[in-house]
Amino acid sequence: MTVATLGARDVRKLRDFYAGLGWPLLVDSEEFVAFGTQGALLALFALRELEADACAKASAPETGFRGFTLAINVESRERVDSTVAAIRSRGGRITKEPVDATLFDGRSAYFADPEDNYWEIVYFGGGGEAGEAIRRIGKE
Amino acid sequence: MTVATLGARDVRKLRDFYAGLGWPLLVDSEEFVAFGTQGALLALFALRELEADACAKASAPETGFRGFTLAINVESRERVDSTVAAIRSRGGRITKEPVDATLFDGRSAYFADPEDNYWEIVYFGGGGEAGEAIRRIGKE
């Protein structure tokens, strides 16, 4: 997966939120915005335009959790906490404070952007193919 | 972004769909599945578990377009068409047949998985920072 695109009610407002987190803008137009992140790009596109572009059969809800999350892996437990503190200071809504994970060796927290897109900030200490893949992406 | 996680009504069924596309499984448990792709990982997690994990305030709808898309960049216009043909032959529902893009230099199509998660198959021929970033991800 190379790009995740969020359908936005207000592209500019959401753009300003992510730009305010310090994420690097690669494309910055009125209708479409893209940020470069480790792993995959994050794109913002007006929700109704995205629906039309995808030939989606029904309209999406505009608010609330919509059944998906995006994640940012960080390299240590401490980095989960410091990243959450930075996001909070820039207006991110923390939905889950950092806690050691129960399902895997690591630590995790969540925040939501102003349009209820949920992001996990996660340290994964486990090994295996998943651990290797995450560490490889993190080095890019 | 290192991982996109889809909340699944039926993790096993969705797992079988993506495994059937030939995507490499990195984690394959009853409740949680992860596939390695170029760019970021794709994870599947039971929808209600994902909601609880993220401390989401409301339940997500279980069907229909939910306002986001994930994309796979390919290296040529022809590859958009051949990828779509392969996905169709493995049971993917094509929501938009390949067409040359109007908003950028390239070609694009969409498919939906069995739980209405939408994927764009896209060739981006443009340059700039976005073009460079996408080509860098594609080489990994």
pLDDT in tens, A40-56: 999 999 999 999 999 99
Q: Encoding tokens for residue A48? A: 């109704």
State how far residue B62 is from chain A, nearest Cα, in angstroms: 8
Which contacts qualify for B82-87: CB closer than 8 Å, 24 or more apart? Answer: B83/B109, B83/B121, B84/B109, B84/B111, B84/B121, B86/B21, B87/B21, B87/B111, B87/B121
**For residue B43, is pLDDT > 90?**
yes
Per-residue pLDDT, B94? 98
Per-residue pLDDT, B140? 55
Judged by a CB distance cut-off of 8 A, whether residue A34 touches chain B is yes
Burial class (CB in 10 A: 0-12, 13-18, 19+), B22: exposed
Domains of chain B: 1-62 (3.10.180.10), 65-140 (3.10.180.10)
How many contacts does A have with B, using Cβ atoms within 8 A? 207
Helix (H) or strand (E) holding B4: strand B3-8
**For residue B85, is pLDDT > 80?**
yes
CB contacts of A72 in chain B (<8 Å) are 1-2
Q: Which of A26, A56, A120 sits opposite B65 (nearest CB)?
A: A56
ipTM above 0.85, yes or no: yes
* pLDDT bracket for residue B97 (50, 70, 90): very high
3 state DSSP class of B100: strand
Q: Residues A92-119: what's their mean pLDDT? A: 96
Q: Contact A5/B138, CB-based, under 8 Å?
A: no
The chain A residue lying nearest B120, using CA atoms, is A54
3 state DSSP class of A106: strand
CB contacts of B34 in chain A (<8 Å) are 130
Separation between Cα atoms, residue A44 and residue B21, nearest integer Å: 27
CB contacts of A43 in chain B (<8 Å) are 71
Q: Contact A71/B2, CB-based, under 8 Å?
A: yes
* pLDDT bracket for residue B14 (50, 70, 90): very high
pLDDT in tens, B99-131: 999 888 999 999 999 999 999 999 999 888 888
Report the percent of chain B where pLDDT is more than 70. 99
Q: Residues A16-45: what's their mean pLDDT? A: 94
Q: Encoding tokens for residue A119? A: 């992001």
Instruction: Tell me the residues of chain A between 66 and 95 that have a Cβ less than 8 Å away from chain B.
Output: 66-73, 95
